[in-house]
Amino acid sequence: MNLPEAVVEVSGLHVAFGPAGSAVEVVRGVDFSVGRGEAVGLVGESGSGKSMTALGIMRLLPRGSRVAAGSVRLNGCSLHGLSDREMSSVRGRDISMIFQDPLTSLNPAFTIGRQLTDAIRTHQAIGRNAALDRAAELLALVGIAGPRARLAAYPHEFSGGMRQRVAIAIAVACQPKLLIADEPTTALDVTVQAQVVELLALLREELGIAILFISHNLDLVAEICDRVMVMYAGEIVEANSVHALFRNPRHPYTQQLLRCIPRLSDGRGELPTIPGAPPRFGARPDSCAFAPRCDYVHERCWHTAPPVRADAGSRVACWLASP
Amino acid sequence: MTGVQEQIGRRPDRPAIWARLPALLGGATGCAGGVLVLFVVVCALLAPLIAPHSPVAIDLQHKLAAPDARFWFGTDQAGRDVLSRVIWGARPSLQVGLVAVVIGTIGGVALGLVAGFYSGGWFEQAVMRALDAMAAVPLLVWAIAIVGIVGVDPVLIGPFAFGNEIKVMALLGLLYIPGLARLTYTSALVECQSDYVAARRLQGVGGWRIMLGDVLPNCLSPVIVQATLLVAVGIIIEAAISFVGLGVQPPTPSWGTMLAEARNYLFSGEWWLSLFPGLAISLTVIAFNLLGDGLRDVLDPRRNTAVFTT
Amino acid sequence: MTPDPFPDVLSPGTPLLQLRNVTKIYQLRSALWDRLHRRRATLAAVGGVSLAVDAGDILGVVGESGSGKSTLGKIVVRLIRPTEGAVLYRGVDVSAQDGRALLPYRQRVQMIFQDTHSSLNPRKRVGRLLAEALAANGMKRDSRHGEAARLLRLVGLDQVVETRYPHELSGGQRQRVGIARSLCMRPELLVADEPVSALDVSLQGQIINLLTRLRAELGLTMIFISHDLAVVGRICTRIAVMYAGRIVEIGRPEDLMAAPVHPYTRALIDAVPKGLDGRAHRRKPLAGAPPAPGETVTGCPFRSRCPEAMAICVSQMPDKVRLSPDHDVVCHLATRGECV
Residue A256 to chain C, least CA–CA distance (Å): 8
Cβ contacts of A275 on chain B, cutoff 8 Å:
2-4
Instruction: Return the pLDDT at C325.
Output: 85
User: Which pLDDT belongs to residue B3?
Assistant: 39
Mean pLDDT of A86-110: 89
Assess A277–B contact: CB distance below 8 Å, yes or no: yes
Task: Give the pLDDT confidence score for residue B304 in this predicted structure.
Answer: 43
Instruction: Give rounded-to-5 percent helix, strand, coil for chain A.
Output: 35, 25, 40
Secondary structure class of B257 (helix, strand, coil): helix
Residue-level pLDDT at C38: 59
- B250 CB-near residues (< 8 Å, 6+ apart): B257
Closest Cβ opposite residue B195 in set C118, C123, C173? C118
**Average pLDDT of A262-286?**
79
Return the residue of A nearest to C208 by Cα.
A271
Q: What is the ipTM of this complex?
A: 0.88
* pLDDT at B97 > cutoff 70: yes
Q: Which residues of B touch A280 (CB under 8 A)?
A: 7
Q: How many CB pairs under 8 A join A and C?
A: 132
Grade residue B285 by pLDDT with cuts at 50, 70 and 90.
Answer: very high
The answer to whether residue B302 neighbours chain A at the CB level (below 8 Å) is: no
Beta-ladder partners of C64: none
C29-38: average pLDDT: 60
Q: For the segment A137-148, what is each residue's pLDDT rounded down to a tens digit?
A: 999 999 888 899
Q: How far apart are CA B113 and CA B111, in angstroms?
A: 6
d(CA B63, CA B67): 11
Statement: residue C37 has pLDDT above 80: no
Adjacency order of strands within the sheet including A6-17: A24-35, A6-17, A65-74, A77-78
C179-207 b/e (C-beta count within 10 Å ≥ 16 → b): bbbbbbbebbbbbbbbbbebbbbbbbbbb
C201 → closest Cβ in A45, A191, A243: A45
Q: Do C235 and A264 touch (CB under 8 A)?
A: no
pLDDT in tens, C255-300: 898 889 999 999 999 888 888 877 777 778 888 877 776 666 788 8
Q: Is the pLDDT of residue C315 over 90?
A: no
Residues contacting residue A99 through CB under 8 Å, at least 6 positions apart: A105, A167, A182, A183, A184
Close Cβ partners of A49 (under 8 Å, ≥ 6 residues apart): A15, A26, A27, A28, A30, A231, A233, A234, A235
Does the N-terminal peptide bond of residue B251 adopt cis geometry, omega within 30 degrees of 0?
yes
**Contact, B307 vs B288, CB < 8 A?**
no
Angstrom distance (rounded) from CA B200 to CA C119 = 10
Closest CA to C182 of C114, C127, C135, C133: C133
pLDDT in tens, C208-222: 999 999 999 999 999
The neighbour count for residue B58, using CB atoms within 10 Å, is 13
C179 touches C209 (CB < 8 A): no
Residues B74, B81: Cα–Cα separation, whole Å: 6
Identify the pLDDT of residue A285.
72
pLDDT in tens, A151-163: 999 998 888 889 9
Confidence at B303, pLDDT banded by 50, 70, 90: very low
Give Dmax over CA atoms of chain B in angstroms. 89
CB contact under 8 A, B196 and C119: yes
How far A241 CA sits from the closest chain B CA (Å)? 32
Query: Is residue A236 packed enough to be buried (19+ CB in 10 Å), middle (13-18) or exposed (0-12)?
Result: buried
B29: three-class secondary structure by DSSP? helix
Please give the backbone phi and psi of residue B249, each rounded to the nearest 5 degrees, phi first.
-95, 145
Tell if the CB–CB gap between A271 and C204 is shorter than 8 Å: yes
pLDDT of residue A289: 87
Distances (CA, A) of A230 to A25, A31, A33, A218, A275: 18, 12, 14, 9, 18
Strands C109-112 and C92-93: unpaired
C97 in contact with A at a CB cutoff of 8 Å? no
Query: Which of the two residues, C305 and B14, has the higher pLDDT score?
Result: C305
Closest C-alpha among C108, C157, C170 to residue C130:
C157
Asked if B8 is an interface residue toward chain A (Cβ–Cβ < 8 A), one would say no
| Mean pLDDT value across residues A2-24 | 82
**Of C124, C132, C232, residue with least CA distance to C168:** C124
- B92/B156 Cα distance (integer angstroms): 18
Closest CA to A186 of C172, C197, C233: C197
| Beta carbon pairs, B and C, within 8 Å | 79
CA–CA dist B244, B144 (Å, integer): 9
Residue spans of beta strands (DSSP E) within A99-201 = 178-182
Residue B3 touches chain A, beta carbons under 8 Å: yes
Contact A276 B5 (CB under 8 A): yes
Q: Quick one: average pLDDT of C22-29?
A: 84
Per-residue pLDDT, averaged over C13-34, amounts to 81
Q: How confident is the model at residue B8 (pLDDT cuts 50, 70, 90)?
A: low
DSSP class of residue C293 equals: T
Average pLDDT for C64-68: 86
Rounded Cα distance, A71 and A94, in Å: 17
Percent of chain C whose pLDDT exceeds 90: 52
A292 and chain B: CB distance < 8 Å anywhere? yes
Higher model confidence: residue B198 or residue C309?
Answer: B198
Highest mean pLDDT among B39-48, C8-17, C271-280 belongs to B39-48
CA atoms within 13 A on the CB side of B109: 20
Q: B135-171: per-residue pLDDT in tens?
A: 888 877 887 887 778 777 777 777 777 777 788 888 8
Q: How confident is the model at residue A263 (pLDDT cuts 50, 70, 90)?
A: confident
From residue A284, alpha-carbon distances to A30, A40, A236, A302, C317 in Å are 16, 28, 15, 10, 61
> Would you state the pLDDT for residue A276?
83
Name the DSSP letter for residue A30: E
Residue C151: pLDDT above 90?
Answer: yes
In this predicted structure, what is the pLDDT of residue C35?
Answer: 58
Q: How confident is the model at residue B100 (pLDDT cuts 50, 70, 90)?
A: very high
DSSP class per residue in B171-188: HHHHHHHHHHHHHHHHHH
As a whole number, mean pLDDT of residues C134-138 equals 92
pLDDT at B306 over 70: no
Interface test with C, best of B5, B195, B304 (most C CBs within 10 A): B195
Per-residue pLDDT of A187-211, as tens digits, reads 888 888 989 999 999 999 999 999 9
Q: Are A294 and A253 in contact (CB under 8 A)?
A: yes
